[in-house]
Amino acid sequence: MELEQLLDFKWSIMTPEFIILGVATLLSILDLFMPKSMDRKILGWIGVAGIAAATVSLAGFIDEPVTSILFDTFRLDSFAKAFKFILLIGSLFVLLLAISFEKKDGLAEFAGEFYYLFLTALLGAMFMASSGDLITLFIGLELLTISSWVLVGVTKRNKKSNESAMKYVINGGISTAITLFGLSYIYGLTGTTNIKDMSGTLMTMGGSQNQLYLLAIAFFMTLVGLSFKLATAPFHMWAPDVYEGAPTPVTAFLSIVSKTAGFVIIVRIFVSIFGSVPATGAQDALPMLLHLQDYIGFLAGATMIIGNVIALRQRNIKRMFAYSSIAHAGYILVAFTSMSYFTFDAIWFYLLAYLFMNVGAFAIIQLVGAKAGSDDISAYAGLYRRAPILAVTFAVLILSLAGIPGTAGFIGKLNIFMGAFATEPAHYVLASILIATSVVSYFYYFGIMTQMFFRPAADDSKFNIPVALLVVLIGSVVGTIALGILPNIAFDFLHDNFMQFKDFLQ
């Protein structure tokens, strides 16, 4: 590629990524030359400023038409912009959690590395949202994954952290290999790694039976590989140990940002490629994605059941929220299985709602865990008497996670539930499982509320809430209630600014 051609690209569409990359580089240099005795929180605040700047720059591209550079390997379309807002806002909240995190088990020694590795993980997720090519998609995925591996095990002197990091690396390596193996079949059939070109080639090739078999293998291999990333059953075995052993800000990051990135890659690949291939080779046949949607539906049903049922037996609240996160991945898979007109809206809204209610919950888990020195549910006994506002805040977030009316979680589940009936044939079984498992979740969610409001407190000591953590709690509660009472705030923003939400297919 000649220099003149390289300079002709519209590099400005990568401004948010350049900001995150520049700030991550700056933090690594500052950390290298700062005295070891100096508090690294200043690096965290620089990271917060960088993410805020990237969010503002992204907002400036809302009215930008679909633009691609580097031969359509990087795309700024409505799909990318909509999900990047979730990634950036979620990362901003999680980084505020990290700044407030009490440095134990050697984390203080590696706080600098924590901040810039966090930003590189975010950078990988953002690249995934804008990728128009399997190579850039895979690079973004691995940048996110490898950074997450290190973040999980950053407290090197904590045995649980070491164990969780090892399990995460092993499962992550297996899932990467399976995903790459599935994608290699698609590349072999089409001769290109560009997602748009793949879709066009598969639509016109009028596949033979052998080609369709290979595509089916690619579908299942890719689905299984990405299911590890999403922690959907039965590929969820790593999540409880990783969530428990990792520092709480990392757990929140995996639950919110990493999960969002996982659904981004699933929608990009499956809708773009398998959503355009006739299942039988005939041009008027149903797309392969619709033909095989029962398998995704089975995955969604199993994930909702296993996640909620096993959560009933958990005493460690981080493990409980790990299984809760697994169950919520199942809810989102219901929307993806339905493939109705409302699918994209439902997925985006639910991920946004999940961001607010989950990051606030992890903020309180971090605060109470640091105060009690334990993540056992009994640590929340009498919280209402010790910190009434904190207990009420946690109650609001728990009610939203459970899907109680008046909260963002209820609207999110309602959208998914209604979407399951908006197709022909309707997905009655999945809708029934969604309702039944949501009722099951009341038992372990309300168990936490029982501890807070109806159990005696172990001591009467008060809580000192750091400023950064207070910002997270206020933002999460306001977001949860606002989206629950006035959900059109989010839907109007989505429809007014991202009218071509499905333009990644163009």
Say if CB 274 and CB 289 are below 8 A apart.
yes
Distance of CA 156 to the CA centre of its chain: 25
Q: What is the pLDDT of residue 282?
A: 55
Under the banding of pLDDT at 50, 70 and 90, the label for residue 10 is confident
The DSSP output letter for 376 is: B
Alpha carbon of 315 to those of 400, 405, 455: distances in Å? Answer: 21, 27, 16
Residue range 27-45: average pLDDT?
A: 87
pLDDT tens digits, 382-393:
899 888 999 999
Alpha carbon of 294 to those of 19, 298, 339, 459: distances in Å? Answer: 42, 6, 11, 52
SS3 state of residue 500 = coil
**CB burial of residue 4 (10 Å; 0-12, 13-18, 19+):** exposed
272 forms beta bridges with none
Under the banding of pLDDT at 50, 70 and 90, the label for residue 352 is very high
What is the C-alpha to C-alpha distance for residues 179 and 62, in angstroms, rounded to an integer?
Answer: 32
Model pTM score: 0.94
What is the C-alpha to C-alpha distance for residues 111 and 495, in angstroms, rounded to an integer?
Answer: 40
> Please, what is the average pLDDT of the chain?
88
Above 70 in pLDDT, residue 106? no
Quote the tokens at residue 360.
């606030």
Above 90 in pLDDT, residue 17? yes
Above 90 in pLDDT, residue 274? no
What is the C-alpha to C-alpha distance for residues 136 and 124, in angstroms, rounded to an integer?
Answer: 10
The DSSP output letter for 315 is: -
Three-state SS annotation for 383-410: HHHHCHHHHHHHHHHHHHHHCCCCCHHH
Q: What is the pLDDT of residue 281?
A: 56
Above 60 in pLDDT, residue 504? no
| CA atoms within 13 Å, Cβ hemisphere of 502 | 11
Say if CB 412 and CB 349 are below 8 A apart.
yes
Q: Which helix (H) or strand (E) holds 493?
A: helix 488-497
Residue range 35-64: average pLDDT?
A: 90
Residue range 330-345: average pLDDT?
A: 89
Q: What is the pLDDT of residue 114?
A: 86
Q: What is the pLDDT of residue 154?
A: 83
Radius of gyration of the chain (CA): 22
What is the C-alpha to C-alpha distance for residues 402 and 354, in angstroms, rounded to an integer?
Answer: 11
Backbone angles phi, psi at 223, to 5 degrees: -65, -45
**What's at 42, amino acid-wise?**
I
Q: Where do the DSSP E strands lie in 8-87?
A: 67-69, 74-76
Say if CB 382 and CB 458 are below 8 A apart.
yes
Say if CB 360 and CB 477 are below 8 A apart.
yes
Above 60 in pLDDT, residue 323? yes
469 forms beta bridges with none
Say if CB 358 and CB 401 are below 8 A apart.
yes
Say if CB 400 and CB 484 are below 8 A apart.
yes
Say if CB 416 and CB 499 are below 8 A apart.
no
Quote the tokens at residue 486.
């006035």
pLDDT tens digits, 138-168:
999 999 999 999 999 888 777 888 888 898 9
Say if CB 340 and CB 427 are below 8 A apart.
no
Q: What is the pLDDT of residue 185?
A: 92
Quote the tokens at residue 60.
């400036």
